[in-house]
Structure 1
Amino acid sequence: MCAVMYLMGLLYCTRMGIELLDIVDHYCITYYLLLAVALEACMFTFDFGWRRLVVHVKLATLGNLRTPLGQDVVPSFFWRLAIHFTMPAWCLFLFFYIFSTDVAEPYGGYPSWLQGIGWFCLAALLAVTPLGFARSLKLGTGSTLPPLEQDEAALAAALGIKSSLPPLGQNEEIQESAL
């Protein structure tokens, strides 16, 4: 695999290397990054969730000198709107806008065979991504996050409030002491 990557890297050392780098950068990075950010925001919404974000922000700002103990710091509705709706919508809009402009007029005035290399690289990335995602789902048990109740118990413990669940990290100690 290393030898293949080495040989592919040699292409960038040729006289056509900078044009190839520009094409690969445009097609792979621009398109793929916009799509990845949109999908990541959607995954954050469904996996991490708003309640867990609020709990983690409260835990993170608990000892801050600007927010005395007892004062809640909760992300405003603006952030909920931005993370859940605005960011994915704008990224997808930009993705399709750039796609439509590249279809109408080839990027940078490069020859069509070089454009074809860029489209091929993007297609390869888009084909491999779902395979990696499916593999991670097959190997894992779903979300790697602890239950939300444990995060809320950690917040309650930090605030000095009694909770029926132990905070994070104490689950194992309780199970070991019960044995």
Structure 2
Amino acid sequence: MNILKNKNWLFSSMGGVLAILFGIIAIVFPSITLIGLAYYFAAAILVGGIFLTIVAIRLKETNPGWTFLLLEGIIGILVGLFIVFRPTLSAAIFVTVIGVWALLLGLFFLIIYFKRNRLKMERNFMLFIGILSLLFGLIITINPFEGTRFITILIGLYAIAYGVFSLVNHRKTMRTVE
């Protein structure tokens, strides 16, 4: 059980770590072209989605919340594959794809918030990240800011916030299995 728990933690934390790295790169090097950023984002979200899907399948028997992890993993895989197989189109609509992804995750986290009856802090964190994701998704999708540099930095900040949330949330999930 301990070995399985450690492997699950490694798999589930990988998506959060990649999101944080993506965020740091976007903030430190905002002038990177959107296509390069799109490829890194695709790799991060695809790998994170694969790991989350694996963890969800492993937790199927022991954690009733496994379906939410599976759904998050599948969304990540689909968005990642779309960007990988349509790089030119993806570069053109990269900002919109990130906005839609954030909107979907925001809705997803708000649904979890209203369905869970666990610790108050965990629920409040779900509410916070859900609202943050929805606001970020709306701002990015509507794109009132013309400068891609600003958008790249905003995307980086969001990726770091999402990565930290992902690490905290997946750590709590692993504690639930204990």
Q: Please state which structure has a larger fraction of its residues in helix.
A: 2
Higher relative contact order (CA 8 A, sep 6+): 2
TM-score by length of 2: 0.28
TM-score by length of 1: 0.28
